[in-house]
Amino acid sequence: MGMELTKKQIGAEGEDEAEQYLIKRGYKIIGRNMNTRYGEIDLVAQKQNCLYFVEIRRRVGGAYGSALESLSSEKINRIKKTAHALLFKNKGWSQLIPFFSVIAIDETRDGRKTIEFMPDAFE
């Protein structure tokens, strides 16, 4: 049980960091933790006429490989289905160009962080 909370906290912290990262670069956050029956999208951001469905991957200590490597093909398919459901639900988004994005936050054991944004991470 205690472990679960830590995982949740790590996730929420990563979402805050990712959100700040995008806002600083001129993106507007238009959704956070958006759920459909297929799954959840961590962040939905907009910049000009583009819409970004952002998956946030946070890894501490690098023990399990990089944040990006943690994305399975099942997870990618779930993200796509979720995004399509959200596009269907939010008609106002239909004129925007959708992208599947990943923000990878990798943290070393001594607390150094790297944040990498891949706006067009997968098709």
Q: Which domains does the chain have, with CATH numbers?
A: 2-122 (3.40.1350.10)
Q: Tell me the per-residue pLDDT of 8-32, one tens digit each, with 9 for 90 and over.
A: 777 788 899 999 999 999 999 999 9
- CA 24 to CA 27: how far, in whole Å? 7
Q: In the sheet where 97-107 sits, what is the strand order?
A: 28-36, 39-47, 50-60, 97-107, 113-122
pLDDT of residue 1: 47
pTM of the entire predicted model: 0.87
- Coil/strand/helix, residue 67: coil
DSSP strand E in 37-112: where? 39-47, 50-60, 97-107
* C-beta separation of 101 from 54 below 8 A: yes
Q: Percent of the chain scored above 90 by pLDDT?
A: 61
Q: Is the pLDDT of residue 3 over 60?
A: no
What integer is the mean pLDDT of 103-120? 88
Which comes out higher in pLDDT, residue 78 or 61? 78
